[in-house]
Structure 1
Amino acid sequence: GGELLKERAALDRIRSLAIPPAWTDVWISSSPRGHMQATGRDAKGRKQFRYHPRWTALRDADKYSRLIGFSQALPRIRRRVARDFRRPQLSQEKVIATVVKLLEATMVRVGNEEYARQNGSYGLTTLRDRHARVRGSTVRLIFKGKTGKEVEAEVTDRRVARVVRQCQELPGQELFAYVDGDGARHTVSSHDVNDYLRETTGEDFTAKDFRTWAGTVLAATALRELKGFESEAEAKRNVVAAIDRVAKRLGNTRAVCRRAYVHPAVVDSYLDGSLDGQLAGPAVESAVLSLLRRSFHKEVRRRQRAA
């Protein structure tokens, strides 16, 4: 038997957490400053969390600063993928390299076995044979994604098509699998993919970083195509249009896309009129990296002055 809570400020804080009525085993932090404000289990028994807004902002800021490191590591990842892709056998490295290649080409989520089991929703590593169609050198993926929407992705690459076809010919229903030296079949998991990325880069990068980088580059490209603006209202409309374009590619809502997948420096550069000049030339990725570096150093100097 707990005590009845009557303090208005505490009640207002709890209401602001917007805890769904369907949650069970709910725990709420007694401190308004705790980084984790509430936990509970949803209707499907999965543990869910509510974080303090400031903690969320810090976490997102860290994610964006790591984006610079990830983009610098991309050439190294691509070289490793190209090397493993040329292996003659259907080895673990070759199949993981294929998944990484598809991660970058399609921007599809890497997948989680728990979601596949409980929700019937999929990502690259949890796809089944039935989700892939190979026609010549084109691979078409059709499946239910994490948000419940149908995801369609298509890649035309002769070598990718060959690996996917070889994977489909193996026994078992999971798509991405390989055969070890003893002839035993193993599936490729998201952990395998993340371990591959860490081993390649020597840093703690994961498959999700591909989506954050892709979202940022897509937003920069979309905003550059929209050109300038005559008023603040037009600028805001253009930003919304660009974010919507990215959200459609990534399969996210506009709000999630802007908060979690587009580096704020891209939007800030567009609004202050400097984006077009910073993205001059065809090498968009290197231009976006330079933009992020400038933004990072500017923010470091601002914080040093404020300290």
Structure 2
Amino acid sequence: MVGQVPFDTERESMTVNEHLSHFAGLPVTDFPDEDGRRPRPADVPGPTAWRVQYDWQTPFPEILHEFLDTVDAARLTHLVTGWDDSCDTIELLVDAADRLPALRHLFVGDIAYWESEISWIGRGDITRLVEAFPRLETLEVRGNCDMQGRPFASEALRRLRLETGGLPGRVVRNLCACDLPNLEHLDLWLGVDDYGGDTTVADLAPILSGERFPSLRHLGLEDAPRADEIAAAVADAPIAARLESLSLALGTLTDEGAEALLSGQPLTRLRRLDLHHHFLSDAMMERVRQALPGVEVNLDEQKELDDCPYVAVSE
């Protein structure tokens, strides 16, 4: 049976301003570290998620192969890749799949804004990762990704997170065609039109209807420039009745969208509602809190509403 993926509320609130400190329940260890040293497993006090990154001197493919030769790759369960010198990291990982049979949790592209704008990070076809690592429970990808029109199937995958500056509708439509019966946690950064983010509510319909992903308990539709429209669609969506947590964070949510949420299906069954980075008025924030007394509501990062609300992550 696939183990439960930990829910990390601190991780959920992070964007591109910092590197991961923890991933899938484990602390992150850099290879190489900030001083250029290559730590060995004996140097780490306990289980860790290794983060492999370009060190500005050695090409990333060489760093990755050096890492695989240093650790016990056959037993590695958690892996994070960082700045990769614009290499095709997906291809490199696929090529190394036979050396990583125990890999269960993978984050591709833990790259902060000072290393690269998110819209500059090309990631390629994530389908190849799921096919190369069929036992993955967690897959998180930062950067512009695609699915090349080929849906995939996985009984192992429990958590999928796509962090993009603009998520194309075709990727969402292809995702909705995938067979993921045990997917519990889905986060999509929708992003802006200028960087390919043309996903519509119609593209999300198979998710919102509950038709796809029968085990889904968390849904994040984040970094959305049309967050009010997304909120209204979620409020009346069948999927809302079985969610334990919902995130509409990082987007342009205003009082109109919050009103739609409060007027739709009761959200009191939620454990957590994340709306951080929003454009709600003080009065609406208080209404949300009062309406959801038993729910952990994140209303951090209130922004001043002006003529042009903006998403948290774009360029």
* TM band (smaller chain): under 0.3
Greater CA radius of gyration, 1 or 2? Answer: 1
Looking at secondary structure, tell me which structure has more helix per residue: 1
Q: What's the TM-score, normalizing by structure 2?
A: 0.26
Looking at secondary structure, tell me which structure has more strand per residue: 2
Q: What's the TM-score, normalizing by structure 1?
A: 0.27
